[in-house]
Amino acid sequence: MKKTIVIGCDHAGFKMKNFLIEKLREEGYTVEDKGTYSEESVDAGEFAVKVCEDVAANLDTKYGILICGTGIGMSMMANKVAGIRASLVSDLFSAQMTRAHNNANVLCMGARIIAEAMAWEFTKVWLSTEHLGGKYAKRVQAMMDYEQNRK
């Protein structure tokens, strides 16, 4: 069963978000669009939180995708939400490894850094890569333990 994709962006990522929504739906994914809904300037953090709080509350059934100009602001804010492992990617190898090794549950990309076609390629690789488990599961658990215990 495919996970639901929760997607959000700021104004810079608006066009790419709409492109990815169309592609994801063509591939049979259920997509929940958390905004923004225009190219009017907005604070990226607001949309990162909307997406990531939803994903964090539904870890077994949802993944997130966030897009802003560089992907940096989105990834930084996303990782403030407990339970989220967001990764900024700009190449295919990183898209694969962030799932295989780090079990990332949110993919972040920069619309001013990569073309829409490449964003789709990264998304396909990211969604099709399974977490390897084993020693990598221990490393992911160490991240989550630190997050839980630092409060």
* Distance between CA atoms of residues 75 and 85, nearest Å: 9
For the question of residue 101 being annotated catalytic, the response is: yes
From 52, 101, 108, 131, active-site residue: 101
Q: Indicate the helix (H) or strand (E) that contains 73.
A: helix 72-78
121 closest CA partner among 16, 5, 7, 12: 16
Give residue for tokens 């490894």: 97
- Residue 68 is among the residues annotated as catalytic for this protein: yes
Among residues 9, 11, 52, 68, the one annotated as catalytic is 68
Alpha-carbon gap, residue 62 to 54, rounded angstroms? 8
**Catalytic (active-site) positions:** 68, 101
